[in-house]
């Protein structure tokens, strides 16, 4: 009997088929947008696919290629401007295939050494962008959510170590209303409370507002307070908090200062906006998602610590069968010591290969292109009588309204364009002075998007 892991002629054909698909997909810069279907409709077309005897690779693959993949939206479509899209480089996607094929366990240097070396080379560049001092370093995670959680846990453990009394308190952290939803859910996961600070007139968290909030806390709440989470580019609007003045307050109040730059972190490599991040070099920890604006395939986040030893205290796992990995022969950097996950793929490898191949300057250019597209979109919006900017673009996010439209109009327009394969642009909400409005939003990541794409999309709103 053949085992599942052996190869015969038919699997060779299937292998070639799959490789051909992968190569075609990687080289196709403008795939079909894909249209969503209900689960029961998909089931009606392909039938049950997991059976006792298997349906065969050829059949399963063709179903995926011809039906199921078409019911997805490729994140790298140049007219996918919703949420935070992505645009992994070809080099990075190719190396994602290699990362799978190489079968490396990325938790410990003993098993992953050479691969972790590559990840660390890429990490060294990320850390250099932040301006954090010597001794700062980080590790790749599954995304911003895991990076934020890892950082907050490290912060809480450091706070508990500081004073015996702190162990008795339920921890409390402060963030702003523009913070990503994952900050709130991760506080829930770690059973910490959250206080949300109002923003200033420019919709940013500032030291002044932060200090105000801290001064108004009760005695016990002040004791429970261990960290502040600022945002380096809000997901909805691209707004960067006033990091420097927030850092001042954190220093004065002896609080852990975390900057969530999951989306905006890419812009640290863009000289035209780098000044907006002044103060980030004073953070205790920073989240950056290479799978957003650093052209990595999913999933790749990063958490960086000013003092990486503090993260080790919080995250290093102990277990009888794990001790060997910390032995003499295994001396080296163990990524599992610095974030919540043990077994991990070398998810920083695709980024490393692409950086090694292209050099960092190409990254700067591609990120600047996203910023330029946002400015161009703003110009086109201002010139169109039926449209109006809600605010000047921040980073690569553009918020705008179609005069006279109701929330239903935005929704219908989104669905129509998606169905027609034109674009995926989704509405969002913008709240100002307690007034909440449904509006439209672009987020530019993909350097293959062009001015014509923007023009065509805006024209469809007439």
Pick from 39, 24, 35, 84: nearest CA to 423: 35
Q: How far is the CB of 262 from ligand PLP (least distance, A)?
A: 3
Cα 214 versus chain centre, distance:
29
Q: How far is the CB of 301 from ligand PLP (least distance, A)?
A: 5
Q: Sign of the CA dihedral 354, 360, 366, 370?
A: positive
Give me the least distance between CB of 169 and ligand PLP, in Å please: 26
* CB contact at 8 A, 104 and 332: no
- DSSP readout, 28-85? -SS--------HHHHHHHH-----SS---HHHHHHHIIIIIGGGS--TT-TTB-SSS-
Closest by CA position to 150, among listed 31, 356, 276, 288: 288
Nearest Cα neighbor of 222 from 282, 182, 165, 148 is 165
Shortest gap between Cβ of 144 and ligand PLP (angstroms)? 2
Q: How far is the CB of 416 from ligand PLP (least distance, A)?
A: 27
Angle, helices 349-358/90-102, rounded to nearest 10 degrees: 140
Question: Contact, 172 vs 193, CB < 8 A?
Answer: yes
Q: Which is nearer to ligand PLP, 396 or 417 (CB)?
A: 396
Q: How far is the CB of 187 from ligand PLP (least distance, A)?
A: 13
Q: Which is nearer to ligand PLP, 235 or 417 (CB)?
A: 235
| Phi-psi domain of 433 (left: phi exceeds 0; alpha: psi -120 through 50; beta: other) | left
Alpha carbon of 177 to those of 128, 212, 430, 432, 441: distances in Å?
Answer: 29, 15, 12, 11, 18
Q: How far is the CB of 274 from ligand PLP (least distance, A)?
A: 18
**CB of residue 234 vs ligand PLP: minimum separation in angstroms?**
6
Judged by CB, which is closer to ligand PLP: 231, or 245? Answer: 231
Sign of CA dihedral 175, 294, 24, 78: positive
Closest distance of CB 46 from ligand PLP, Å: 29
List the alpha helices (DSSP H) in 386-429.
407-419
> 317 to each of 222, 321, 335, how far by Cα in Å?
31, 11, 11
Measured from the CB atom, the residue of 14 and 230 that comes closer to ligand PLP is 230
Which one, of 298, 335, 337, lies nearest residue 317 by Cα? 337
Nearer to ligand PLP, 169 or 293 (CB): 293
> Which CB atom, from 229 or from 458, has the smaller least distance to ligand PLP?
229
Q: What angle do CA 175, 176, 181 make, to 5 degrees?
A: 80
| Nearest-approach distance from CB 182 to ligand PLP, in angstroms | 4
Contacting positions for ligand PLP (CB under 6 A): 84, 143-145, 148, 180, 182, 231, 235, 260, 262-263, 289, 301
Q: How far is the CB of 159 from ligand PLP (least distance, A)?
A: 22
Q: CB-wise, 231 or 341, nearer to ligand PLP? A: 231
∠ CA 122-297-340, nearest 5°, is: 70
Nearest to residue 235, comparing CAs of 262, 258, 259?
262
Is residue 442 within 8 Å of residue 374, measured between CB atoms?
yes
Residue number, 186 or 214, with CB nearest to ligand PLP: 186
121/139 Cα distance (integer angstroms): 11
Q: How far is the CB of 304 from ligand PLP (least distance, A)?
A: 14
- Of the two residues 144 and 279, which places its CB atom closer to ligand PLP in the complex? 144
3 state SS for 339-353: CCCCCCCCCCHHHHH
Closer of 86 and 249 to ligand PLP (Cβ) = 86
CA pair distance 32, 22, nearest whole angstrom: 15
CB nearer to ligand PLP: pick between 293 and 413: 293
14 or 398: whose CB is closer to ligand PLP?
Answer: 398
Residue (of 392, 352, 348) closest to 374 by Cα position: 392
């Amino acid at each position: 009997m053949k085992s599942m892991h052996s190869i015969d002629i038919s699997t060779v054909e299937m292998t070639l088929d799959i490789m051909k698909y992968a190569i075609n997909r990687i080289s196709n810069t403008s795939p079909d947008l894909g249209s969503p279907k209900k689960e029961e409709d998909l089931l009606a077309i392909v039938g049950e696919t997991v059976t006792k005897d298997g349906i065969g690779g050829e059949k399963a693959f063709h179903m995926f290629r011809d039906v199921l993949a078409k019911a997805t939206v490729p994140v790298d479509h140049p007219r996918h401007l919703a949420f935070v899209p992505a645009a992994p480089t070809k080099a990075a996607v190719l190396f994602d295939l290699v990362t799978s094929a190489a079968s490396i366990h990325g938790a410990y240097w003993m098993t992953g050494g050479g691969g972790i070396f590559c990840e660390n080379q890429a990490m060294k560049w990320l850390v250099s962008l932040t301006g954090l001092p010597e001794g700062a370093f980080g590790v790749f995670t599954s995304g911003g959510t895991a990076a934020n959680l890892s950082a907050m846990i490290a912060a809480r453990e450091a706070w508990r170590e500081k004073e015996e009394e702190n162990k008795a308190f339920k921890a409390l952290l402060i963030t702003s209303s523009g913070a990503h939803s994952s900050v709130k859910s991760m506080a829930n996961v770690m059973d910490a409370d959250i206080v949300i600070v109002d923003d200033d007139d420019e919709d940013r968290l500032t030291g002044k507002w932060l200090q105000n909030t801290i001064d108004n806390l009760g005695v016990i709440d002040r004791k429970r307070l261990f960290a502040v989470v600022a945002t380096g580019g809000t997901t909805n609007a691209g707004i960067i908090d006033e990091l420097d003045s927030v850092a001042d307050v954190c220093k004065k109040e002896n609080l852990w200062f975390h900057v969530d730059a999951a989306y905006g972190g890419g812009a640290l490599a863009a000289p035209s906006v780098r000044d907006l991040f002044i103060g980030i070099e004073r953070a205790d920890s920073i989240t950056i998602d290479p799978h957003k604006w650093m052209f990595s395939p999913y999933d790749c986040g990063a958490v960086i610590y000013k003092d990486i030893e503090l993260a080790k205290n919080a995250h290093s796992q102990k277990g009888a069968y794990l001790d060997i990995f910390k032995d003499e022969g295994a001396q080296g950097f163990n990524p599992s010591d610095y974030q919540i996950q043990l077994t991990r793929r070398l998810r920083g490898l695709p980024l490393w290969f692409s950086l090694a191949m292209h050099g960092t300057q190409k990254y700067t250019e591609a990120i600047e292109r996203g910023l330029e597209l946002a400015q161009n979109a703003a110009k086109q919006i201002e010139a169109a009588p039926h449209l109006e900017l809600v605010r000047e673009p921040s980073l690569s996010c553009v918020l705008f309204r179609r005069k006279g439209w109701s929330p239903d109009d935005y929704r219908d327009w989104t669905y129509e364009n998606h169905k027609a394969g034109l674009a995926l642009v989704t509405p969002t909400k913008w709240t100002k002075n307690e007034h909440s409005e449904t509006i439209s939003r672009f987020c530019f990541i993909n350097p293959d998007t062009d001015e014509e794409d923007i023009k065509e999309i805006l024209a469809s709103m007439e």
